[in-house]
Chains A and B, each alone.
Chain A
């Protein structure tokens, strides 16, 4: 089926734009960038049509990459229904965002550099979802991390952007460390990294009652996932990652890359189902992240920051679903979230574009009349994420709430409240941006059609996506025999209860920000302490700085730099060797006086020495 074509096409696009971009025109660069991703999407569609129902995994083996002892790791691509879903999301949303980005980035410096990175990201993301073993997944995993770093720091002349890029990279490093350890343990336990072999062997193992090897593997995988998917305690990089251009935020930091952790957990479902403690940890971390990020999102003023914390919170929901054993629901939310969160970010990008790079919502307002198309699509996205009935977000959120209810009641209610907060903060951003009086100084203008077009496509998907693509049902063959079946359908009453928080949140936001505009300030002043705590993001960054960053920095400066590097390595080893060589050279130089007879004498002395040695040692054998 030539699966390799799917990732290779964007790689070719990246290479063409990256190598020739200096000399080609912007329209050619756009054509290459969009064309390569679009072709990749079409090839995905063709492949999936050719593969039919895809009840079983379809594997293609290309060559053996590493063969060492009994361990053999191949470059294999595999497609099952889970991969198929991810492929469609990545290439489909990717194409739309590429089209949008040609409009958004049109005036920017480094146009071809941007698209080269973006195509490279597509390549690695596709390797990540197509890879048929943990190592190939890890290659994609690291590659998307690299592209994320490059694109966050795209405006590299801005200090804050490069700092954010470095932060993302370093925080992800911690997670990747956990992932690598997990891979080593998998090799030790199963003797292979191939998904097929590992999961077959895992299925035969008994469920672990207490901490053990599989629990350790799953917890380490979870560490990896918390890094890439921005969960507690490693979520701190994602809000800062908004320094990158908005299409990047939409593609990488909302729709695709950050869901890689969820994908990885769902892919490893066979392992996680054997480790109940790890599953519980996934659920708790997901829930905590969802609650915490949602509360921070309530008070942020930067429109992209609101959506960034919203992303962290929604990713928490996905992990909650995975932790409750509802892998299908988690992936369901990955898909619908990709629709509406990409739309939210791209819409926010359109707003920012319209307001001449103003991101603070306090300087917006009343934009409903000025940029009506953007308003339409953002309203749809907001309704979808808030869980308005029949919108895409509603379907997946219902499933997640249902799974939480079956798991623990307290988890259900915590998620329920968080769903309400989600609706509140999203509509807060809508009301602050589009309603009331315009408070800025720029002259807002509607974005060009190349930007609005993809937004409407995403808007349609946000409306019908959940109803059209029944992911949990679709993924049943993937999790068959791994996850116990028979999750009872939840009743009408549950459904109404699950819909309530979204509607309540929207209503509350309307009351606070539209109906009585002074109310927000009075609430703010009466809960000043809490407000400051949330505005400063629970001081988590400060706490990390004080407990981890600064001690490491200080010890690096005082010990590793001044003692180890300057003292031992520079003075001891480098200068020691060079000085020693110099002294020895000075000594040897005296032997070379330029007198030919001296040299002759040395030769004679040497010959006598050799002959003497032969004589003493008894001659040659």
Chain B
């Protein structure tokens, strides 16, 4: 393991590249879950995961460039995500009450 990874990973504190790689991994997991899962709650969580992946890279870049813009951005994203979670869960609740299903493919009343 030590032979494969770059040496800085072990000499310094956690390097910034690691954060970005983690962010990319989280984002990819989010996309995959969004595309392949059928349960609305899971899809919803996938979206949250993507948002937080982006937050992570925002904060990383903020640290790298020594500016607070990225942190401010991530706060905004958090606020919006919180609001979205509240509204989204309420919608999901109503959908479940009316349709008695959480399968995303069954909810197509806007089609045609």
Q: Which residues of A contact B (CB under 8 A)?
A: 594-597, 600-601, 604
Contact = CB atoms under 8 A, between A and B. Distances in A.
Majority SS at the chain A contact face: helix
B108 A594 contact: yes
A600 B104 CA distance: 13
17 contacts: A594-B108, A594-B110, A594-B111, A594-B112, A595-B105, A596-B43, A596-B104, A597-B34, A597-B35, A597-B36, A597-B104, A600-B31, A600-B34, A600-B35, A601-B35, A604-B31, A604-B35
Nearest to B105: A595
Contacts of B110: 594
A27 B89 CA distance: 77
B88 to A, nearest CB: 13
B58 to A, nearest CB: 17
Nearest to A597: B35
Interface in B62-112: 104-105, 108, 110-112
A585 to B, nearest CB: 16
Interface residues of B, number: 11
Ordered nearest first, which 7 A-B pairs have the shortest CB separation? A594-B111, A597-B35, A600-B34, A600-B35, A594-B108, A604-B31, A601-B35
B23 to A, nearest CB: 14
B99 to A, nearest CB: 15
Residue in B35, B36, B111, B112 whose Cβ sees the most chain A Cβ within 10 Å: B35
A244 B110 CA distance: 65
Nearest to B46: A600
A597 B39 CA distance: 12
A601 B36 CA distance: 10
Contacts of B111: 594
A600 B112 CA distance: 19
A594 B106 CA distance: 11
A596 B44 CA distance: 12
B26 to A, nearest CB: 15
- The prevalent SS among residues of B at the interface is helix
A601 B31 CA distance: 9
Contacts of A601: 35
B51 to A, nearest CB: 14
A313 B111 CA distance: 79
A597 B108 CA distance: 12
B55 to A, nearest CB: 18
A112 B35 CA distance: 75
Of A595, A597, A601, the most chain B CB neighbours within 10 A belong to A597
Nearest to A594: B111
Nearest to B31: A604
A595 B112 CA distance: 12
Nearest to A607: B31
B39 to A, nearest CB: 12
A588 to B, nearest CB: 16
Contacts of A596: 43, 104
B9 to A, nearest CB: 24
Given A594-B108, A596-B104, A597-B104, 14 more contacts: A594-B110, A594-B111, A594-B112, A595-B105, A596-B43, A597-B34, A597-B35, A597-B36, A600-B31, A600-B34, A600-B35, A601-B35, A604-B31, A604-B35
Nearest to A595: B105
A597 B32 CA distance: 10
A607 to B, nearest CB: 9
A591 B36 CA distance: 18
A596 B40 CA distance: 11
Nearest to B110: A594
A600 B46 CA distance: 12
Contacts of B112: 594
Contacts of A600: 31, 34-35
Contacts of A604: 31, 35
B62 to A, nearest CB: 18
B59 to A, nearest CB: 21
A595 B105 CA distance: 7
A608 to B, nearest CB: 10
Contacts of A594: 108, 110-112
B112 to A, nearest CB: 8
Nearest to B37: A597
B61 to A, nearest CB: 14
Contacts of B34: 597, 600
Nearest to B112: A594
A594 B105 CA distance: 9
A238 B35 CA distance: 81
A595 B108 CA distance: 8
Nearest to B107: A596
B27 to A, nearest CB: 10
A544 to B, nearest CB: 63
B49 to A, nearest CB: 14
A586 to B, nearest CB: 16
A552 B43 CA distance: 72
Interface string B7-41: 00000000000000000000000010011100000
A152 B111 CA distance: 62
Nearest to B43: A596
A61 B43 CA distance: 76
Contacts of B36: 597
A600 B31 CA distance: 8
Contacts of B43: 596
A594 B110 CA distance: 8
A141 to B, nearest CB: 62
A246 to B, nearest CB: 69
Contacts of B31: 600, 604
A601 B32 CA distance: 10
B22 to A, nearest CB: 18
A601 B104 CA distance: 15
A614 to B, nearest CB: 15
A601 B110 CA distance: 19
A329 to B, nearest CB: 85
Nearest to B47: A600
B53 to A, nearest CB: 13
Contacts of A595: 105
A596 B39 CA distance: 12
A604 B104 CA distance: 19
A104 to B, nearest CB: 69
Contacts of B108: 594
